């Protein structure tokens, strides 16, 4: 059909004026008159009707005059669909075949309106029946009698017609009600069929990927259940992740939200049971979508496995939904630094900045900051927090070059470093953040490091505090050689309480032997105390395989040894300072 089409209907007779309609797509309806005496003349009506026709439109009958309504073709009633065919298929009025849209609620409403109208008219006719059909004669003469009889006859004829109209109205109402029921029944019968067809088509589309990858191509992931609490993954192409199951049993973590595919939102994490954490939300789509929110919970403590890797403690983390990888647990630094290949890249976002982190082993790392989640397991999942994603390690010493060459540029595990020292930034001007402070509820209060029993616990200290020192990892410790003596000679030394410091270091200046390199001789008794040597924290005897390295400068590094002797709690309070709490008595 052409973009613009003019439809005209003209009937010219002698001494008659016939309304003519010009219908243009996107223009107003105008009424013209045709005169046949002195030639034809067409002019717009004095008041154009503001009725606009679109491709599929509805004529506003109320805007037309009575004469125009009578002239209006029957095909104008209802909805006009001019896309039904081209101009050659139109009827003689030039208007496309009508297409009627039916909604059962509209039919029911119309039937109720008509029934109300019929009831009102019937009541009015009943009230007027007596006064109009039985008229009293105005006088005793024959003319008055004839006039009364005439009007009474008209009234009877009117009431007869109104009775026919009432019957017609009732039949029409019944027809509308019947039609609405028929349409509703047809829709109800067709809905299951359409749903079945839709499922069959979607099943055929998803069958190959479900067979090969156990995942649909299109569709939302299944929600978690009590038996399988984690939400299912959404379709590879389109689909939201399923929601995690919300637990009701005390201590059980909520289910994890499912991951979306290319387009879709991650599923919501399920709520945890009493005294348990909620599940983490699923990742949003690679191309478009939002990460799902974590489930609610009320965790007090959460424990994760802790193990040693060549005298270095390690825990597992998953960053942005990526693989679970072991990282060094380091109280001597701040910030979580991991190589880019060990994180989840889906829906990671853009970096918030770039910088360089410097470690004491001669390795510097260029990193990009990303705000994302860190999952330690057991329901300990942080809110989005700053994570340093390592791009390139580079050496600042021969030792650093050796470490990088051996594949240890990102820590002894090769997968990164988890720094949890609250005051290291203030002491060294660093920028790393302690990611465990982004854990929910009381989990962010601190970490109990229990190497003898092989776990780390987030939350309040569940052990029995024996002694403590303010400041983590930078603090001042009193050092004594040859056994502890509160009245003997001791050396207050700036120290680093460093779980990632391996065997630790001792400044040669306090040995008094002139030694500035190598290791402290085996069999040396070293006592570490605080409060002007009045409170012993721990004591140990060096061996040929476990002895601190002698350096020519301060500070001292405790190394792993105080953590290996018993459980140590690292408190994040006071904020930015921290406290070291020893849950075991000194020997």
Catalytic positions are 330
C-alpha distances (whole Å) from 251 to each of 20, 182, 186, 429, 453 are 82, 55, 52, 40, 21
Phi, psi of 155, rounded to the nearest 5 degrees: -65, -40
Measured distance CA(517)–CA(496) in Å, rounded: 19
Q: Do residues 17 and 46 lie in contact, with contact meaning Cβ atoms separated by under 8 Å?
A: no
State yes or no: cis peptide before 473, omega within 30 of 0. Answer: yes
Rg (CA), the chain: 44
Measured distance CA(254)–CA(277) in Å, rounded: 7
Per DSSP, the three-state class of 481 is strand
Phi, psi of 530, rounded to the nearest 5 degrees: -145, 180
Per DSSP, the three-state class of 206 is helix
Q: Do residues 345 and 432 lie in contact, with contact meaning Cβ atoms separated by under 8 Å?
A: no
Residues sharing a CB contact under 8 Å with residue 315, sequence separation 6 or more, in sequence order: 304, 305, 306, 326, 327, 329, 376, 418, 456
Q: Is 403 exposed, middle or buried (0-12, 13-18, 19+ CB in 10 A)?
A: buried
Which residues are registered as beta bridge partners of 494? 476
Measured distance CA(471)–CA(477) in Å, rounded: 11
Q: What is the dihedral of CA 203, 209, 214, 216, to 10 degrees?
A: -50
Q: Do residues 301 and 443 lie in contact, with contact meaning Cβ atoms separated by under 8 Å?
A: yes
Q: Do residues 295 and 313 lie in contact, with contact meaning Cβ atoms separated by under 8 Å?
A: no
Residue 365 CA, distance from chain mean position: 33
Measured distance CA(394)–CA(371) in Å, rounded: 24
464: number of Cβ within 10 Å: 10
Nearest to residue 264, comparing CAs of 285, 282, 244, 243? Answer: 285
Tokens representing residue 94 in the block? 């030039």
Let me know how long the chain is. Answer: 587
Q: Do residues 386 and 261 lie in contact, with contact meaning Cβ atoms separated by under 8 Å?
A: no
Measured distance CA(371)–CA(373) in Å, rounded: 7
Nearest to residue 237, comparing CAs of 261, 209, 272, 208? Answer: 261
Tokens representing residue 420 in the block? 């949890």
Tokens representing residue 61 in the block? 């009958």
């Amino acid at each position: 059909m052409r973009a613009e089409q003019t439809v005209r209907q003209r009937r010219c007779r002698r001494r008659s004026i016939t309304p003519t309609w010009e219908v243009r797509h996107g223009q107003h309806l105008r009424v013209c008159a045709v005169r046949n005496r002195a030639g034809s003349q067409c002019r717009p009506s004095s008041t154009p009707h503001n009725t606009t026709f679109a491709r599929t439109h509805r004529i506003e009958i109320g805007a037309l005059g009575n004469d125009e309504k009578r002239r209006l073709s029957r095909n104008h009633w209802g909805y006009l669909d001019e896309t039904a065919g081209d101009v050659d298929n139109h009827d003689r009025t030039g208007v496309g075949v009508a297409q009627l849209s039916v909604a059962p609620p509209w039919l029911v409403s119309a039937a109720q309106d008509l029934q109300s109208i019929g009831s009102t008219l019937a009541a009015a006719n009943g009230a007027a029946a007596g006064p109009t059909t039985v008229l009293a004669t105005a006088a005793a003469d024959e003319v008055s009698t004839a006039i009364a009889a005439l009007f009474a006859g008209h009234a009877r004829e009117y009431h007869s017609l109104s009775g026919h109209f009432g019957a017609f109205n009732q039949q029409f109402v019944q027809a509308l009600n019947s039609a609405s029921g028929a349409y509703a029944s047809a829709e109800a019968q067709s809905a299951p069929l359409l749903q079945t067809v839709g499922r069959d088509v979607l099943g055929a589309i998803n069958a190959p990927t479900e067979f090969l990858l156990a995942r649909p191509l299109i569709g939302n992931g299944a929600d978690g259940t009590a038996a399988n609490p984690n939400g299912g993954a959404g379709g590879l192409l389109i689909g939201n992740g399923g929601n995690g199951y919300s637990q009701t049993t005390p201590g059980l973590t909520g289910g994890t939200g499912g991951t979306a595919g290319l387009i879709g939102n991650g599923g919501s994490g399920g709520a945890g049971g009493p005294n348990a954490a909620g599940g983490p939300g699923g990742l949003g789509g690679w191309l478009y979508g939002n990460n799902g929110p974590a489930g609610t919970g009320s965790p007090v403590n959460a424990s994760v496995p802790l193990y040693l890797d060549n005298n270095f403690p390690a825990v597992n983390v998953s960053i942005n939904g990526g693989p679970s990888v072991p990282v060094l647990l380091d109280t001597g630094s701040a910030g979580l630094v991991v190589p880019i290949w060990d994180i989840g890249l889906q829906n990671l976002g853009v970096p918030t900045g770039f910088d360089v982190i410097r470690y004491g082993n001669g390795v510097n790392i260029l990193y990009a900051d990303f705000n994302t989640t860190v999952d330690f397991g057991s329901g300990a999942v942080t809110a989005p927090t700053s994570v340093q994603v390592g791009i390139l390690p580079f050496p600042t010493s021969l030792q650093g070059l050796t470490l990088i060459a051996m594949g240890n540029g990102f820590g002894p595990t090769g997968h990164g470093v988890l720094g949890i020292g609250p005051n290291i930034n203030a002491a060294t001007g660093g920028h790393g953040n302690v990611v465990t402070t982004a854990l929910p509820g009381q989990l962010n209060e601190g970490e109990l490091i229990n190497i003898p029993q092989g776990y780390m616990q987030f939350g309040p200290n569940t052990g029995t505090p024996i002694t403590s020192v303010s400041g983590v990892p930078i603090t001042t410790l009193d050092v004594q050689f040859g056994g502890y003596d509160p009245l003997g000679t001791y050396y207050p030394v700036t120290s680093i309480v460093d779980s990632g410091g391996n065997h630790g270091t001792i400044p040669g200046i306090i040995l008094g032997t002139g030694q500035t390199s190598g290791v402290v001789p085996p069999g040396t008794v070293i006592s570490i105390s605080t409060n002007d040597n009045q409170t012993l924290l721990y004591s140990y005897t060096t061996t040929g395989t476990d002895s601190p390295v002698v350096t020519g400068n301060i500070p001292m590094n405790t190394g792993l040894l105080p953590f290996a002797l018993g459980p140590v709690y690292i408190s994040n309070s006071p904020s930015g300072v921290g406290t070291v709490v020893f849950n075991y008595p000194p020997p």
